[in-house]
Amino acid sequence: MAIRAEGTTRSGADAWKRNSRTREARERVIKVFLTACAYLSIFTTFGIVIVLFEETSRFFLEVSPVEFLTSTRWAPPQGDFGVLPLVYGTLMATIIAIVVALPIGLLTAIYLSEYAPHGLRRWLKPALEILAGVPTVVYGYFALTFITPLFRDSLFSDIESFNAISAGLIMGVMIIPTVASVSEDAIYAVPLSLREGAYALGATRRETATKIVVPAALSGIVAAVILGISRAIGETMIVTIAMGAQANWLGSPLEGMQAMTAYIVQVVGGETPRGSITYESIFAVGSALFLMTLVLNLASYWFVRRYRESY
Amino acid sequence: MTQSTTKARRQEGGGPDFKASKSTKYGLDMAFTVLVTGAALVGVVVLVVLLVDVIRDGSTMLSLQFLTSFPSQIFPENGGIYPALIGSLWLLGLTAVISVPLGLGAAVYLEEYAEDTRINRIIEINISNLAGVPSVIYGLLGLGIFVELLAPVTGGTSVLTGALTLSLLILPVIIVATREALRGIPGSIREGGYALGATKWEVIWSHLLPMALPGALTGIILALSRAIGEAAPILVVGVSLYQTYATAGPFDGYMALPTQIYDWISRPQQIFQDSAAAGIVVAMAVLLLANSFAIWLRNRYQQRS
């Protein structure tokens, strides 16, 4: 009996040891896999940088960077590669979009956090999320077939079929949810005591919202706007569909023009042979686009950190 | 205002002045309330107008046949979105299979394993930056890596390439959503598991992942519905704008709903514009369904905890 018990214990201990060794091995394998998943994001960034850099450097063997960055003529078939007209198209649409999205997004955020009754808030936030999830080809269709004819019949009879103002306007609607939700996070983070202090001094609801809460949340709101600008710059299908495919340096908002993103889609849609200068040019334009959004994203990250730290 | 004038006013009886300023103040407050309410409704109004507009434009083309037919250049009125629908389903399935395990893995690592080291902070900033990279840039990445460099593995411009590209695009969103869900789980759950002799992974597998799933799932569904709505990146990595067969395997060519819609929009004839609108109605129906489910899931989960 005693001997048997001893035997059981010994084999039990062995089994336990074996078991714990396989468990440890499994833990290690899993940790390696999970670490690899996290490092994939680093590889993605490297991948983007390497791919863009490689093709762009080939592009710059044939076109001088000075011409690319300073010339105002963009006509790839004629060998004119000044990127400024495309940048102009992108910025025109972006500015119009921000003029729409900044006030509406900010006021929406104020409404959601300071005014909205609980029941309505529960409906409005999902509606905004749906607005953010609408495929951009749908917005493009809407701008082209609804907004532009609307403008033509009412305000601007000489508007072109492809134009910056309709595309920019709808792009503004597209980024309202971004501006609103990031601003609301910041406004929500303002401590209740600040509001109570304002009310105690006799401030009304509006005064509290505009003179206390919004200034206190300012760095978060700046982050929201920067993020909105970055979205607008990178947006592709709305400007491809509704703003046109003709580079237009210093054109009016009622005219068609080409954005940087739209140029990339135009080239990949055509039969452009790999390795040709036109093919390489989309990577050069892509690099410029990547750098612009990178700077904006980092700036926005910095501003968000700032308000997180202050409360 | 100096003290003497205040005193003088008070002696005159400052009542009317005070009342006047109070009423303008309240008037302004009223106006501001109307303004913010109006602003909050702009998005909803645009969404409704947009839906009504596409349903009106698309109603002539919309039928069961539209869902089951190939697009046609010769008889566009009999054309449909069948191959685009199948292609989008393939994209959805493959993207989910690729991005969900990788996203969950990265989130679990960052939330449960990673210490506060320099490299982990870099990974964190990097992920938030990747979330802001324009989708068309992911297309260029896919073009350089999956279409050209890894052509022997991915089959070039296959639906697998499209799914890999979209997976990289939505990974940051999945990671952020899952991390938030993991962060909401109290530490006592983990400690309870360890006290019973469970290893780290056993605690994660049996407790943390199941508990985080509803929250993570909301983010995953929203991310996947964004992925299948994207046109720009798959245009760059070579989606077909026309093909005579429906996608049957991961190495086949593919069409997709948003690019089919784009192709129709770019043709001038009215019949193609109507087809585009009908395609949009289908895409929006799928999207609203997916989003409603995600939001329902989150509400249910938030009520419970």
Task: Judge whether B137 and A290 are in contact, CB under 8 Å.
Answer: yes
| B140/A48 touch (CB, cutoff 8 Å), yes or no | yes
Element containing residue A280 per DSSP (H, E): helix A277-310
Any A CB within 8 A of B199 CB = yes
Residue A303 banded pLDDT, cuts 50, 70, 90:
confident
> Using CA atoms, how far apart are residues B79 and A200, in angstroms rounded to an integer?
67
Whether A90 and A41 map to the same domain: the answer is no
Residues 79-98 of B with CB under 8 A from A: none
* A18, A72: one domain: no
Window 135-164 of A: residues touching B by CB (8 A cutoff) are 135-138, 140-142, 144-146
CB-CB under 8 Å, B130 with A44 = yes
Eight-state DSSP code of residue B75: S
B50 contacts chain A (CB < 8 A): yes
| Inter-chain residue contact A141 with B39, CB threshold 8 Å | no
Closest-CA distance, B26 to chain A, in angstroms, reads 8
Distance of CA A37 to the CA centre of its chain: 23
Candidates B120, B232, B284; nearest CB to A265: B232
Q: Mind listing the pLDDT tens digit for each residue in A26-73?
A: 999 999 999 999 999 999 999 999 999 999 999 999 999 999 999 999
Angle CA A106–A110–A111, to nearest 5: 115
Determine the length of chain B.
305
pLDDT tier for residue B298 given thresholds of 50, 70 and 90: confident
Residue A3: pLDDT over 50: no
Residues A20 and A101 in one domain: no
- pLDDT of residue A1 exceeding 50, the answer is no
Statement to judge: residues A19 and A121 lie in one domain: no
Same domain, A98 and A132: yes
Q: Are residues A21 and A101 in the same domain?
A: no
Query: Which residues of chain B lie closer than 8 angstroms to A233, CB-CB?
Result: 134
Which residue, of A17, A44, A62, is where some domain finishes? A62
- Cβ-in-10-Å burial (0-12, 13-18, 19+) of B137 comes to buried
**Residue in chain B lying closest to A44 (CA):** B168
| pLDDT of res. B201 | 93
Each residue of A149-169: pLDDT tens digit?
Answer: 999 999 888 899 999 999 999
What's the CA gap between A106 and A185, in Å, rounded?
Answer: 11
Q: Please, is A42 exposed, middle or buried when counting C-beta atoms within 10 Å of its C-beta (0-12, 13-18, 19+)?
A: middle
Q: What average pLDDT does this structure show over B22-40?
A: 89
Backbone φ and ψ for A81, nearest 5 degrees, come out as -120, 60
* Statement to judge: residues A202 and A132 lie in one domain: yes
**Chain B residues touching A137 at Cβ < 8 A:** 229, 231, 258-259, 261-262, 265, 280
Q: Are residues A11 and A103 in the same domain?
A: no
**CB nearest to A37's CB, from B109, B241, B258:** B109
Write the CA distances from A190 to A195, A223, B232, integer angstroms: 8, 15, 38
Residue-wise pLDDT for A168-191, tens only, equals: 999 999 999 999 998 998 998 899
A233 with A144, same domain?
yes
Examine the domain organization and report whether A31 and A48 are in the same domain.
Answer: yes
Question: Do A108 and B42 lie within an 8 Å CB cutoff?
Answer: yes
DSSP string of B121-157, one letter each residue? HHHHHHHHHHTTS-HHHHHHHHIIIIIIITHHHH-SS
Average pLDDT over residues B175-197: 93
Q: A44 is in which domain, residue-wise?
A: 2-62
Contacts of residue A173 in chain B, CB cutoff 8 Å? 42-43, 46
pLDDT (0 to 100) of residue A311: 62
Q: Would you say A152 and A247 are in contact if contact means Cβ atoms under 8 Å apart?
A: no
Q: Which of A30, A50, A241 sits opposite B265 (nearest CB)?
A: A241
The tally of domains found in chain A comes to 2
Query: CB A34 to CB B109 under 8 A?
Result: yes
Of A46, A62, A78, which residue constitutes the final position of a domain?
A62
| DSSP letter (8 states) at residue A74 | E
pLDDT tens digits, one per residue of A269-298: 887 888 899 999 999 999 999 999 999 988
Q: Say if residue A52 is in the same domain as residue A95.
A: no
- Cα–Cα distance for residue pair B36/A114, rounded to 1 Å: 10
Cβ <8 Å between B258 and A237: yes
For testing the chain A interface, which of B99, B112, B133, B174 should be mutated: the one with the most A CBs within 10 Å?
B133
Of B42 and A20, more confident: B42
| Boundary residue ending a domain (A11, A31, A62) | A62
- pLDDT-based confidence at B305, cuts 50/70/90? very low
Which CATH number goes with the domain that contains A170?
1.10.3720.10
**Contact call for residues A306 and A219 (beta carbons, < 8 A):** yes
Nearest residue on chain B to A305, alpha-carbon basis: B125
pLDDT of residue A110: 95
Confidence bin at B19 (pLDDT 50/70/90): low
Q: Please say whether the beta carbons of B231 and B244 come within 8 A.
A: no
* Residue in chain B lying closest to A288 (CA): B137
Average of per-residue pLDDT across B190-219:
92
Does residue A176 sit in the same domain as residue A44? no
Helices (H), A71-209: 84-110, 118-133, 136-142, 148-153, 164-188, 192-200, 205-207
User: Reduced to 3 states, what is the DSSP secondary structure of residue A98?
Assistant: helix
